[in-house]
Each structure stands twice: as C-alpha cells, then as structure tokens.
Amino acid sequence: MQLAVSTWQEVEDYLRGSAGIVVPIGSVEQHGPNGLIGTDHLCAEVVARGVGDATGAAVAPTLAYGMSQHHLGFAGSVTLRPSTLMLVVRDVVQSLAVHGFRRFFFINGHGGNVATVTAAFDELYAAQSLGDGGVPVQCRMAFWSGPRCKAISEELYPGVEGRHATASEVSLAQFYQSRHIKHAQMSPKVAPSFPQFFDAADYRARYADGRIGSDPSLSSPEHGKRLYEAAVLDMTDAYKAFLNY
C-alpha cells in the first residue's frame, strides 16, 4: 500500500492490522556516463514498491535526497548535510509514529547514507532512553541488494560490479525507467578504485567520470528485471524477519 496514493482512512485501516512501514531512501547524485542521477532512489523505490505489493506493507514516499557531498563535483548532484538528513529521518519517523507506525524498515540505495541514517536511528533511541520525548520506535535499514542479488551480480559482472555506478544498480534503474536508457563509451572500461575519498574536489580528481571500480556498459534492462525479482524476494524476507524480531 503506497502512502502517496492512499487516503487517511485507508492508512487508519492499515494501522489496525500492522505497525510496519517500508521507507525507500536514496540519493540525487551522478552515476557515471550511463547512470541516471536518480539511480539510488529509483532502485530503492522500485524494490520498496515490490515489497509493498508482495506483502501488503505500507510504503512511504521515497526520501530521494541523501548524503552525497562527495558527488558535488558533478552537475545535477545534490546533498543534504549529515545533520540535515538526520533531522529529516527523525521528523519523518516521528510524524508517522504519531499515527501508530512503530517498525520502520528503510530500503536504502546509497552507501553514503549508512553512517548518517544509523546515527539518526541512534538519536531516536537516545531520546527514548533519556526520556526526552518522542514515540518509541524501532528502525532497521537494509541495502536493496541482498544475497540473491549478490549471486546474480557475481554471475553477470564478475570482478567489475564496482562500488559506485555499479553494473547492478544501472541495470535495475534501466528496468524501472526503461524509457531513459543511456548509452556511453566507458574509458577506461573498468573504473579505478581507491580505498578512500574525501570531499567533492578529491572525489572528482580520483574518479574522472564518476564511477568507482565498475563497468556499467554491461548493464541491461533484462539484467535489471532479474535483479528486481531477486531484490523483492531478498527484501521481503528481511522485512518479515524485522516484523517478527
């Protein structure tokens, strides 16, 4: 059940049977020569909606913007500061908690969100533990590509999945947004990979076209369909396990 296309009465009915909700979260940032700016939030969104269809879970509107400061050297990228994103997560969770939602399952499409969103969860728990107010909630975050997806990635893109603008996420976005498939030469074919990067200027200097360690010229919407079906199964398992935890 997508919140965005439900009425408040439908949400009230839902809350009589479940306190769980799926929250897709991603980023607005460059994804190399053939990856869409919205790749991370589009991937999280399509998988979250699939989990909603499979389980009947409520699915919140996508939190499109994430912590992407290192991508600001590339046009179209937008970041929330970590402190801003933590407040966004807190206010979204606490707003929904007012109505009775208690279990928040974030499906994430962007590795750069993990530290910040995890810290936001800890702020919520700290407020509960210290008696500073707020409704007690429980939150979990999972990256959309679970074990089934990893097996497909290893089969399709051995050694060249990479860490940013990955072949898998580009394929999944091509499946979801099939009218917006881009074609580009990759040079070098497999992007470089370093252990660490710092700010936007440093990132741009290390990764000339924005990719890290990937070859998304291998991506296709057919691969994306396989990854989508696997991801929905992976995340459905993870959501059900969270509700039963």
**For binding to Ni ion (CB under 5 A), which residues are involved?**
40, 169
Closest to Ni ion by CB, 40 vs 215, is: 40
Closest to Ni ion by CB, 50 vs 109, is: 109
Closest to Ni ion by CB, 55 vs 166, is: 166
Please name every residue paired with 22 in a beta bridge, in sequence order, or none if there are none: 59, 105
Closest to Ni ion by CB, 1 vs 212, is: 212
Backbone angles phi, psi at 24, to 5 degrees: -75, 135
- In whole angstroms, how close is the CB of 77 to Ni ion at the nearest point? 11
Strand ranges across the sheet with 103-108: 58-59, 20-25, 103-108, 138-143
- In whole angstroms, how close is the CB of 81 to Ni ion at the nearest point? 19
b/e burial code for range 39-68 (CB count within 10 A of at least 16 → b): bbbbbbbbbbbbbbeebebbbbebbbbbbb
Backbone angles phi, psi at 84, to 5 degrees: -70, -45
Closest to Ni ion by CB, 56 vs 192, is: 192
Closest to Ni ion by CB, 60 vs 167, is: 167
How many C-beta neighbours within 10 Å does residue 21 have? 26
Residues near 236 by beta carbon (within 8 Å), at least 6 away in sequence: 51, 54, 55
Amino acid 12 reads: E
- In whole angstroms, how close is the CB of 17 to Ni ion at the nearest point? 34
Amino acid 210 reads: G
- In whole angstroms, how close is the CB of 60 to Ni ion at the nearest point? 20
- In whole angstroms, how close is the CB of 39 to Ni ion at the nearest point? 5
- In whole angstroms, how close is the CB of 43 to Ni ion at the nearest point? 7
Tell me the residue nearest to Ni ion as measured from the CB: 40
Strand 20-25 and strand 58-59: the pairing is parallel
The H or E element spanning position 141 is strand 138-143
